[in-house]
Structure 1
């Protein structure tokens, strides 16, 4: 039980498609999102300033979880708000008008504040011994007519440390993107992209992997064969890992524990709804403040933990969840406004469709 395993790997892909005419500021883009996900706990670190934005990552995490749960009824949900926020931050750096305003309302932070928080997190997680592998990339169609705005590249390539690639957007680009994601997730995600639309002009990709070893591993001698009862009453035979932990969590609707990984920067958090409270009821009654408070340990209290061994894979097409968060214009080709990321050479016109 030394390692939490090749625990988490996820990638978020945003494809920007456009019909651009000259340098007109009314140029529009439609945004589609595809996601392969795994969880990464970021709420303790994503906002580094004790200001009005401190609760925003908590609120966004809960809202995203609720929306994804609503679209995958009956399935377990495993999402990474951190990875989604990196992809959205890159997209916001090219958005203007109502498209940008809707995205800022959904994330709970202004575009610059979000980039600042994520930039700080990159510095925190960038050490060689960090269990987190986090990478961003920008792929743009190699076209002589297309001129990418300097501010967009400065934000993505500078502050968010994204690699920037010019690519032909053919089958070779599909292969290259998948290879990049596989490398950055340590082989956990071998493929994230199946094909490229003829309309695609930009790809914004975040890849995240977490491979952590427990600071105090579960003892093999304490692993027992037990029956685990699911919320719907279904019973399953599981290998139950047992331990005594010194970080006990307690709220009005749930109790739980946290268990540190090596280095102490990251912790696994497990929450168990109280008797008579469903997982959905717990999720629907949490907000950023109550979640933050729930993660504060009860002083001088130990907890006897039983955690079943499990593995889980999950994927979702995120556009529906993001629309339900209020990002409607970004997915409407007639309304989306991403003209801040690029311009066409004056006197030329181009249809990406």
Structure 2
């Protein structure tokens, strides 16, 4: 399941980036992966085949997919003693029993999902607000209004939701007094003055990828279960080329092929928020039928259903202490080396980054920082 999640994460990230090559971006492909796997549990025939292929599952066997999903969710949900990691799944079926009990039982069992019946028919707006309130609570109020106004109506039969929240302090924290305004070079050749954090880090995981023409730095959080992995192209404008070349093998190599030198690390301090409506993106990646009212086969879930929209929001705050990140997804269903002088790692131009979970061997969050709109929310509809 980790391999599937990683492949799907990259496919999704690369597709979204191709539609906004110069912008900042932050998302949780793991959250989207979990929601669409929950939907897949109710899919049948060609709709299911498309979803299995797009989600990069190694097997067609539903029991094996569910067993893998159960394991993946278990690791995600167990949290950590060292960082705050919360992930929660919830089904919101309409109270008219149009969603099959067998489907609900399967999702509760294999995805540790809560179930909350709501009345979309007589109270669609109240139901939308209730779902958004739950997402806010799980994400420490970082993700608000996941389901926008008008996204729920009397034809909605279920919302499948996942919310994920992470807050971790760096194992080696930066000193705020060492943060200074420094030039950051953008893809279009401009230099922006932004806050850059700097400090010496000993025995840090560091590598260089010839295949991706980049430097790789792991900045671990306390407990060393997770790290922010920064992939910094060797050239100022190398990000787009690096992202295109990226695949799971190269990504895993970046995680594994590291030494442990002492480095002078300089990285930006930033906040990003991204907002997406992903049904067109997921259709383009290979699962169009589930979004088509005439073709969708969700008969394992109920009669005459299709997925109308997939909403996703993500937020990240990278500062001297560490990182805070949150995301939520909802699918609405309608009807070692020798001692040497310290080297430098200076992230003063656009880079890709991941919040990597070592046990899952997958990224919980993936993003890119290009310098633009460092604190502005970005919204992309129908990528």
Give TM-score scaled by structure 1 length: 0.77
Distance 2:63 2:180 in 1: 50
Task: Please state how far the C-alpha of 1:277 moved relative to its aligned partner.
Answer: 5.6
SS in 2 for 1:177: helix
SS in 2 for 1:295: helix
- Structure with the larger RCO, 1 or 2 (CA within 8 Å, 6+ apart): 1
User: What aligned pairs does 1:278-293 form with structure 2 within 5 A after superposition?
Assistant: 278-293=238-253
Distance 1:276 1:229 in 2: 7
Distance 1:332 1:91 in 2: 14
1:200 aligns with 2:156: yes
Q: Which residue of 2 aligns with 1:247?
A: 205
SS in 2 for 1:59: helix
Task: Please state how far the C-alpha of 1:101 moved relative to its aligned partner.
Answer: 0.6
1:131 pairs, out of 77, 84, 87, with 84
Distance 2:164 2:64 in 1: 21
Q: Which residue of 1 aligns with 2:7?
A: 59
1:143 aligns with 2:96: yes
SS in 1 for 2:218: strand
Q: Which runs of 4+ in 1 moved over 6 A?
A: none
Distance 1:229 1:277, change over 3 A: closer
What is the root-mean-square deviation of aligned Cα atoms in Å? 2.1
Q: Which residue of 2 aligns with 1:304?
A: 264
Distance 2:254 2:89 in 1: 31
1:188 aligns with 2:139: no
Task: Please state how far the C-alpha of 1:228 moved relative to its aligned partner.
Answer: 1.1
1:74 aligns with 2:22: yes
Q: Which residue of 2 aligns with 1:156?
A: 107
Structure 2 gaps of 5+ residues are 305-333, 336-383
Which has the larger strand fraction?
Answer: 2
Task: Please state how far the C-alpha of 1:191 moved relative to its aligned partner.
Answer: 1.2
Task: Please state how far the C-alpha of 1:148 moved relative to its aligned partner.
Answer: 1.2
Structure 1 gaps of 5+ residues are 1-45, 48-54, 345-351
CA contact (8 A) 2:187 2:236 kept: no
Question: Bigger CA drift: 70-79 or 266-275?
Answer: 70-79
Distance 1:197 1:285 in 2: 42
Task: Please state how far the C-alpha of 1:340 moved relative to its aligned partner.
Answer: 0.4
SS in 1 for 2:10: helix
1:341 aligns with 2:301: yes
Distance 2:69 2:224 in 1: 20
Q: Which residue of 2 aligns with 1:14?
A: none
Q: Which residue of 1 aligns with 2:38?
A: 90
CA contact (8 A) 1:247 1:303 kept: no
Distance 1:112 1:261, change over 3 A: farther
CA contact (8 A) 1:65 1:77 kept: no
Give TM-score scaled by structure 2 length: 0.71
CA contact (8 A) 1:95 1:339 kept: yes
Aligned residues: 292
Distance 1:337 1:219 in 2: 55
Distance 1:234 1:157 in 2: 51
The C-alpha deviation readout for 1:184-243, integer Å capped at 9, x for no partner, is 111001211123133211110111111111122112243222111112112111121112
